[in-house]
Amino acid sequence: MSEKSLSRRNLLSGSAGLAAGVVLMSTMNQAAAAAPAAGIEKSFPDFAKFFKYFDEEEVAKTVEPVLGKARRHFVILAALLGCGGKEEFEVRLPQALDAGVTPVQVREIVYQATAYLGLGRVRGFFDVMERVFAARGVKLPLPDTTEQKDVDRVVKGEAAQVEIFGPGMKGFATSGPEKTVAVRRWLSANCFGDYYVRSGLTLQERELVTFCYLVSQGDTTPQALGHVAGNLRMGNDEKTLIAACLQLVPVVGYPRTLNALAVVEQAVHPKK
């Protein structure tokens, strides 16, 4: 064999080895990336210890006497939807189920979030809900709780708006400038007619989780003010709303919690 042929063979052999090495390293990197993390408790035990104390001893024991066990978890799940906390939602959902929140109630909290957050943010939470339910042996789909089958969605949705916000909401779907009337019709038909009128959550509970969606996503003060008023009409008093805000601290942090408290104060005690 010629020297030139040997040189070519060595080059090809070296190239093949290099390529194989690249493939092997890529496979190893992918495997490392795919390997599950050990978890906060094992890898960062100091953080896990003080966060757990704050979350379970200080916060939970302050707000649970006001909200109750199940509704405290309503607030947590709604706030995680609002801030896009999908990974933490997967941690907290089993805790909520253990605390007595039913699969139907969880589903309704996720469904209704779509009206306030959009499917772009909410879709991933459906996947989490499906995984956790499957692990718990919850058979899907759950029973349909749609209740407007024989009634116009606008009619039933507007009736819910009137019950929550007062008689000034009558005719809302057709009110205001013609060029934007579509969005007001959709608010009655879709936001309230498709979501609020479903069974599984009461209107009082729906207003509570709506307040949490709004203040957890930020930059929604006008809407949050309106829904504080709706909460008050539905029986969620100032003490309840403050407890819900306090529960937000470990979930969405202090800035949004302080903003939420300011919204409650502004709505309940407006300055003259």
pLDDT, tens digit (0-9, with 9 covering 90-100), for 24-67: 555 545 544 455 567 899 999 999 999 999 999 999 999 999 99
Is there a domain that residue 40 lies in? Answer: no
Residues 60 and 182 in one domain: no
Residues 125 and 238 in one domain: yes
Contact assessment for residue 66 and residue 201, using Cβ atoms and an 8 Å cutoff: no
Residues 59 and 167 in one domain: no
Residues 54 and 187 in one domain: no
Contact assessment for residue 250 and residue 54, using Cβ atoms and an 8 Å cutoff: yes
pLDDT for the residue numbered 145: 83
Residues 124 and 137 in one domain: yes
Of the candidates 154, 190, 147, 180, the one whose C-alpha atom is nearest the C-alpha of residue 169 is 154
Residues 178 and 57 in one domain: no
Is there a domain that residue 71 lies in? Answer: yes
Residues 124 and 254 in one domain: yes
* Number of structural domains the chain divides into: 2
Is there a domain that residue 39 lies in? Answer: no
81, with CB counted inside 10 A (0-12, 13-18, 19+), is buried
Residues 238 and 107 in one domain: yes
Is there a domain that residue 169 lies in? Answer: yes
User: pLDDT digit string (tens) for 127-139?
Assistant: 999 999 999 999 9
Residues 75 and 193 in one domain: no
Residues 88 and 190 in one domain: no
Of the candidates 169, 247, 168, the one whose C-alpha atom is nearest the C-alpha of residue 208 is 247
Is there a domain that residue 10 lies in? Answer: no
Domain residue limits at 82: 48-142+202-272
Q: Which residues of the chain have pLDDT under 70?
A: 1-37, 148, 272
Under 8 Å CB-to-CB from 127, ≥6 apart: which residues? none
pLDDT for the residue numbered 7: 54
Residues 134 and 59 in one domain: yes
Identify the CATH number of the domain in which residue 244 sits.
1.20.1290.10
Residues 119 and 102 in one domain: yes
**Residue 151: HSE in the Cβ half-sphere, 13 Å Cα cutoff:** 16
pLDDT for the residue numbered 199: 94
User: pLDDT digit string (tens) for 254-268?
Assistant: 999 999 999 999 999
Point out the domain boundary residue: 159, 175, 199.
Answer: 199
Is there a domain that residue 8 lies in? Answer: no
